[in-house]
Amino acid sequence: MKLRILIADDHEVVRRGLCALLQAHEGWEICAEAKDGREAIEKAGQLKPDIVILDVGMPNLNGLAATRQLTQHDPHCKVIVLTITDSDQVIREALDAGARGFVLKSDAARDLVSAVEALQRNRMFFTPRVNDMVLAGFLDKGHNGSDSEPPRLPKLTAREREVIQLLAEGKSSKEVACVLNLSTKTAETHRSNIMRKLGFHSIRDLVVYAVKNNIIQVQVPTQLQTPGSAA
Amino acid sequence: MTVRILVVDDHPVVRHGLRTLLGGNPNWEIVDEAADGIEAVAKAANLKPDVVVLDITMPNMSGLEACRLIRKKAPASEILIVTQHDSPHMMREAMQAGARGYVVKSNASRDLLAAVEAVSRHLPFTALNVQSAESV
């Protein structure tokens, strides 16, 4: 029986590349594609793929939030997170969300097949660069006897994280309600709760929070980018 | 006649995707790939492709700088920018640098083939998303 894979990335050119890469492997098939986290969850619910590959930076619902929802719904769901950044925070969030694989987009052509093979054998896979970082963090923790985690952020529900992403993408409470199939009043309540929990007074604060915490990703003008920092 | 294309992007998976999309036309041939601006300039000068499909944000040398140099070293090659930057400002800079076409990556499946077709005939092709285009 073929291994069925669902791919989610907002750029079709990347999906085409991922498909070409994975379909070349005998015994694997792409059972569905999705262009954001919400569509990925919907299709995963219908098609029950063996492995889900999720880009982190997607509109409407990002890959980390989608991972969290998929693994909460089915703890055996095997998710590989695909990202352009190997920041500590994104790695920690991906692991916390229940991802079993972590591959940098820049290394995908080399590592993605290995990652899928690892998950197929019920193992985890981290891009070597990330593996080193995880190990270094573990050793550092052992030497210092203290955890190097950043201060804990206020506890937000999965729904609140979804609302933050949509608000930070510029949607109104009414539009948020429409996307999440809620009443406008409920969406506004979520918004108020989020602002209170985070101690924010403006949407601007919320956008900054969403960017800093990788809930949304923004395009940085070329002149400000460091080499290799973006696709 | 076969249109010879050089594909330039720092992410191999994107190059795979571009190859797949461009492979749909039997009259087009991918002559080579490059992973940054420096490699792109060298390969364009050597291979003299008809079209260079060029990303902007790349290590070592950006696509804009590469675009300017390719114009000098392979003046017959047309340059099509394929980028994540859905921005009128960036599009203007690219065209000023000598690009003949500009396509946003998120729209590549919709625009890429038409854009390569146009620039290979030395015709301009630019397409942003509606919202961005309105602010041009």
Give the whole-angstrom CA distance, residue B124 versus residue A122: 51
Band of residue A134 on the pLDDT scale cut at 50, 70, 90: low
Q: How many CB atoms lie within 10 A of CB A229?
A: 13
The tokens of A119 are what? 């998950």
The interface predicted TM-score (ipTM) is 0.77
Q: Check if the beta carbon of residue B80 is closer than 8 Å to that of residue B99.
A: yes
Q: Which of B9, B11, B20 sits opposite A20 (nearest CB)?
A: B20
pTM confidence score: 0.76
**What pLDDT sits at residue A130?**
72
Between the CA of residue B14 and those of A13, B9, B106, what are the distances in Å? 6, 7, 12
The tokens of B31 are what? 């002559």
- The CATH number of the structural domain formed by B3-134 is 3.40.50.2300
Band of residue A71 on the pLDDT scale cut at 50, 70, 90: very high
In CATH, A158-212 is 1.10.1370.40: no
Neighboring chain B residues of A225 at a CB cutoff of 8 Å = 57
Q: Which of B7, B8, B13 to mutate to test the interface with A (most CBs of A within 10 A)?
A: B13
CB contact under 8 A, A222 and B56: yes
CATH entry, A3-142, from 1.10.275.10, 3.40.50.2300, 3.30.390.10, 3.40.50.720 = 3.40.50.2300
Give the whole-angstrom CA distance, residue A139 versus residue A22: 35
The C-alpha R_g of chain B, in whole angstroms, comes to 13
**What pLDDT sits at residue B83?**
93
Q: Name the one residue in this structure whose structure tokens are 């800093």.
A: A212
CB contact under 8 A, B21 and A10: no
Q: Tell me the average pLDDT across A155-172.
A: 87
What does the angle CA A194 – CA A199 – CA A204 come to, to the nearest 5 degrees?
Answer: 75
| β-bridge mates for residue A183, sequence order | none
